[in-house]
Amino acid sequence: MAGDGIANGVPGLADGTPIRVVEDVNHDQITVPADPRRVVTLSEPTLDGALALGVKPVGSVNGRGQTTMPNYLLDLADGIPAVGSVSQFNFEAIAALKPDLILTYASGGNNPESVAILRQIAPVYFVGYAGAAWTTTFRNVANALNKGDQAERVLDEFDSYAADVKDRLQAAGYADKTFSIVRWQGSNASLILKELPPGMALEAVGLNRPPAQDREGRGHSEPISLENLADADADYLFFGTLGGSSVDNPVAGGSADVSGAQQAYQEAQGVPGFRDLAAYRQGHVILVDGSLWTSTGGPILMRRIIEFLEQELL
């Protein structure tokens, strides 16, 4: 339908601009441009999803524990200005970009006060929440951008690719092996369980998790005590870090890429019990980009994880 002024009092919808009313993940009816041109994304899944659909946001947030766009998206997100972090938005910077749509995620800095401010800038569309299926979140991004048909093509291509890799991994003898995903911060380990995108990627290609990780969690990495370090063990262990000690303190040291994982791995080897892990003793600890393997995202993250599996295991 076409707008005949500023819809619902939301700035950014000019006279005569075609608009749509779409339902977000909270079941709220949101009036958005039919063809958004200046999109701001405030999470990894929204940035990933927009880029996968050929939409380059005019602004986005730095990745978790990072001082740049998510490391795994740097090649695609080049030139996108940062408007804060996932836990703290720069409202002035967002407003200065004059967005016509803001895509965000039910986490981080999305408290009611922040959302109220954002809604004074442009329509705000919630695409998902921690622990939701990445495919559902991606479809919501596509819904907001009016690119549903294109999203289904992306998903079909992913399913075909994952099925092919799954067949080859099975043929290569990995059907009876287990695979752990660990994020190491300081002297502590956290498990990436089955409900987060990296866990879903392993499931998509038929790789099994060890018993302690063969379950869903609370929608984010799950810390384990050093007494329970054995829960991180498996035949193979994907080991990464997000550099900063927390989402709120991304400059605490280190980085999210493989060099950061190397530094964290050196620290981990000094922790009692780590060298006793079977994956360590067998030389099966695989260092990974933490922004890809221990965070969240969309179809680009999923495909790049599986591409990494091809590179390392096949």
Four-point Cα dihedral 141, 146, 150, 154, nearest 10? 0
Greater confidence (100 vs 16) lies with 100
**Which of 77-91, 107-121, 194-208 is predicted with the least confidence, judged by mean pLDDT?**
107-121
* Residues 208-238 pLDDT 10s: 999 999 999 887 789 999 999 999 999 999 9
- What is the predicted pLDDT for the residue at 248? 54
8-22, 145-159, 180-194, 287-301: range with lowest mean pLDDT: 8-22
Q: What is the pLDDT of residue 186?
A: 82
Query: What is the per-residue pLDDT for 90?
Result: 97
Mean pLDDT, the chain, rounded, equals 91
Q: Give the pLDDT mean for 101-130.
A: 90
Q: What are phi and psi of 153, to 5 degrees?
A: -65, -40
- The DSSP 8-state label assigned to residue 207 in this structure reads P
In order of their start, the domains of the chain are 7-146 (3.40.50.1980), 154-313 (3.40.50.1980)
Question: 293, 238 in Cβ contact below 8 A?
Answer: yes
Query: Which pair of structure tokens corresponds to residue 49?
Result: 């999803």
Instruction: Tell me how many degrees the CA angle 7-13-14 measures, rounded to the nearest 5.
Output: 110
Characterize the bridge pairing of strands 188-191 and 179-185.
antiparallel
* Strand ranges (E), 28-172: 29-33, 39-41, 60-62, 82-85, 101-106, 124-129
- Looking at residue 108, its pLDDT comes to 61
Res. 245: pLDDT tops 70: no
pLDDT band at 7 (very low <50, low <70, confident <90, very high): very low
- pLDDT confidence of residue 1: 30
CA distance 133 to 279: 29
